[in-house]
Structure 1
Amino acid sequence: MNIQRIHHVAYRCRDAKETVEWYRKHLGMEFVLAIAEDQVPSTHAPDPYMHLFMDAGNGNVLAFFELPNSPAMGRDPNTPDWVQHIAFKVGSVQELEETKARLEASGIAVVGVTDHTIFKSIYFFDPNGHRLELAADTGTPEMYKKLDDVKWEMLEEWSKTRRAPKHAAWMHEKEFTQ
């Protein structure tokens, strides 16, 4: 088997219409498809839903389910808010900064611009409480090679110690030399 790409990633939403309008207005995603059923096709459970699909660019699809008969949405209380997020790539740091200004002008709280050395990003929440990230690549081929060269060593060290290996600490210490 050869995975070609992610077909879609699905999350829950509180209100399908609000979600479509928010993603169109703030992230420029087009609404491409809606499916609504009274019975879940995979489980045959009687549970009405609205399943909507948004164009996240380059064949990527972000999907949502509104489930009116389910308990209110929540988050895993054992997972910090910053962990689970959806990251979207944008074309430039300028586009990132312009989007940050637009989001803030609309009353959306934004964290960043955060410099991760190989990319810069901003973070904010959608109306459903999902954390989103917009990222603009800034790395050089040398930086990506340096990270690629140590990925397996880092994973092995982490699996043995559960402590952060220092192989890539340069990313946030700003000590990268080529």
Structure 2
Amino acid sequence: MKVGDLMELEKQERQKRLQWSVVIRYLVIFVVVFLSWLSSQFGAAFFLPGILFSVSLALAFNLVLSYVYSLKKIAQFWPYLGVVTDMAVITLVVHFTGGITSVFLPLYLLQIVGTNVHFSRLAGPINFFIGTSFFGAIFTLEDQGLITHYTPFPMAPDLHQN
């Protein structure tokens, strides 16, 4: 096997991982919409317009990524833009479903682990930093009263009260 063949195999493997990341993103979008709807049926007061807006952003970006990754070129910029976009959408979903009491907090962990699996070693720490920054910003803004804190479960304590 020649070096050129190995490089081509590596390129194909990376392309497959990027395409799988798009499929997984579609699955997560479906799960978020379904669980949000199901939770609202059982009395959780989620801010559904905000969730649908966030999910629509993720869906639109995912459609663009599907097209870009289907071009069979090595995408250098798009995966990292995807990492930032995913964290922004996860942060919005977490915010609209209760902030620090959100049932969707594990999405941060899923995103960080998925990034380490699908992308380079550099992407994982970058993703962790971005996710921590976004969540810290949402937590601080909610705590200071600069943005609305949604309390989806009536019996849950409001953790922002002193």
Tell me if both proteins adopt one fold, taking TM over 0.5 as the criterion: no
Say which structure, 1 or 2, has more relative contact order (CA 8 Å, 6+ apart): 2
**By percentage of residues, which structure has more strand?**
1
**By percentage of residues, which structure has more helix?**
2
Larger Rg: 1
Q: With structure 1 as the length reference, what TM-score do the two structures score?
A: 0.30
Q: With structure 2 as the length reference, what TM-score do the two structures score?
A: 0.33
